[in-house]
Structure 1
């Protein structure tokens, strides 16, 4: 029996047994019987006590009994010291009594009383006191034995339910066969996968339900086998599965067989997901050959083992998270967690609990056991704060303190938790401008900007990088979409190089995925591209009107420095014009 089962046991659970026991033995003794729980609630009794079952007994005798933890004999009610404090002793109906504690593992769980309610019963009880005491002890032992059996049954039921839950929550199919090849256990995964019901197959011969010569032979030969892929028929339907099997020998006469399986389609999808997962990205896998890009990768590789914070800035789609993961994987924290959180995607009222976790009951809807936050999950590794520019101002204070103290407090918690976390933050916003406009804390900016990183947009990386990335994505999506793309037309590459790519590498990837989907002749042409990318050829040779150039450069300056008074002054200065001229151009 586990301690938890003992701790949670209540005598009320076997009250029917207790009443049956009293009914059986009451005819053997000339006295009345009652059994109470540790709270002194009457659970069972002879006829004289039936009217108070479920009610609380007069406490004085049982309080003394529970304190003594041994048999308490009262042969002189009203004069006994236990009765001296009773305010109802003058009306007491008992002439004598033997009170025995019910104990389990030295803990009081209740009590049993043998009471004489008249002089005849009292004389009989006093005359045969030793026999009544012996009887009481035997009754208690009988009840204790029943409790142990009850708890063992509960524990067995609990264990069985646990095993059933584990088996049924498994993300793979599990089937257990006995030594005669009959199906004894089949989990929900299998039933759902093969569209069958438990009752249809339990205790049925395996080969009657599952048609596969290889598996049947392995079962007959009692051979274990590692993961293999094969086809199986179930009630006439064919399935492709990934499976393995293990023989379990209990003794010389008893053995069983465990069969594990997965739907091959879902298994392969899972494998593919991990193959293309970004988590294992390295600097060598980040594609780019332009000089600035190579220098950036070399620089970041050199600071990978540092514990200093890194602030990555760049436009959307430039690959900020890829660089963050590459830094982590090149560091001595690579075997520890890399945890990311998008500060702009989480509602403001939830971001604190997501970052720092919460204690049980900290707020309505909180899990009773609490939940660790991203800082705790990233302990020893790297925490990537994406879109840090969108973090609310009031949360920036707490983040700064966590970075300074290397200690966090769960929501609703009073004890600090030490954390060893390397912070990498990223944003597509101009934090310096936000600091000047009081939209981002200056102290947090400097705390994050220890190692500043600026990822160049795709349009500044040169035509060679566009071509390399294009060919890479064509190859990637040809394989993913099972298309046979033989080449990319030269005019298509020219068109792609002419485009400004405001969405950067992400936009290029999406455009190529679109083209590979649309293509039907194995050659990516301009006609396969999204509409916005068509008819761009020779755009470099076209003359751009001066007004368009002015508008373009003014917008670029305002986007960089902001639209506040200070921002406009800096924009005018960068354009080499007066503030008055800038306002005039804005109006145009």
Structure 2
């Protein structure tokens, strides 16, 4: 129902106007003509019926349209309003009554009553007041029809706009009435469910599975015996007509997984993201490339701040699971009471305080991809048993459920704790350690990566120049020397914090000086200076002492594999660390 801008307001309801003209003529026994704002006849009876669509000539109607006043012309041809009429002197009318039609404060037309005989004239004049009231009532009825017409047009426009919005959405939308019949379905829903508009008025069944995925409730949907598993929400909609409707806004689970995988892949970090060209880092990168294509479990060890998650993401990015989810969880950051539900999920009513609809765990979210268990050494013993079972059987059971779920998943674990020491203290299961330590990867500390400190620092300066709207271009030699000689116990994380600190303190010169360094670096310099002043001849460096201790331990325990394991325990270091130091000091 579209409005023609060239069409007069009254002409939009001409069908109703013509019916009202017939009603007036039938009740009052007179001829009726109704004209619009352009003086065109919209309706007519008797002699005027054939003139519908033809412009009227009466000057009285023009005055009514101009003033909004009703007129009773008792002697047509003699009244002052008749002086400008084209039919003056030839008028056959005996009486004329003209009443305006108002709509929204405007005059949109005129109702004209014409008596062609003296008998008609006499009867009208006898009941003039009641006839005038009747005509005014008809005028109001016509206005009501105009209002209804416009409301229908507005309603249709709103519906069309709403449909355009719904059809532009990438989510499926199905609107259902109280009888569970489809009354509206958008393009995305039709495409996703392979339906057509012919499915309007079909019955639909929407049953919640009382499970969630990525924060959306899972529904079992049946339309025409076709079953679907969809994730979304069901909204109750009330209307003025007291009808009950429900709107189901959904995504397919397959699409949600694809979106999640896309987000995961966008965050993926490839081997080029690991900054460093020192010998230890080149070895690390080579190892990542070799182990990435396999399905084997990886255990990443290294000091805090060395970038264990960065390495895990690089392995994921170079594997055949790069387009599948990468789910990370920090086992030390979640309270023990919550960690099990975070890892394995739970069903409805599994325990007090749980989400009433149940929840997917991290293993389930990562299915098909990679799960990264950071700080694995802090996992409580009772959970280590369950994790071991999952790793062995590749099956998962949610808390409160007895339903087994198959897992196709790669596990990458990481820790900065000596797990061998934890095993000795009965705080970590030995069988879990060997299940995790299929491919060990040890990340060297920053102090062991000669040449990488300045390379990483340059990248970080660029990063924080942009983030803080600064332009640091130089680190002076004195500051550079202090940075290179610092021990970096916090590794790359500490270096990044230091660079951000220095960029914040920099000025318009764009040069980092000693005064801009953090106190911990300056204090270490002071300690070293005092140590140098107090040094005596014959004092060995820490490196020299460390090398001597390793040689003595190897001489005592032997240089075969068993001997090296015993030597590592004696020295209180991991076996991987011992091998790295043997290579560092080139011990035969």
TM-score (ref. length: structure 2)? 0.48
TM-score (ref. length: structure 1)? 0.48
Give the greater-gyration-radius structure (CA): 2
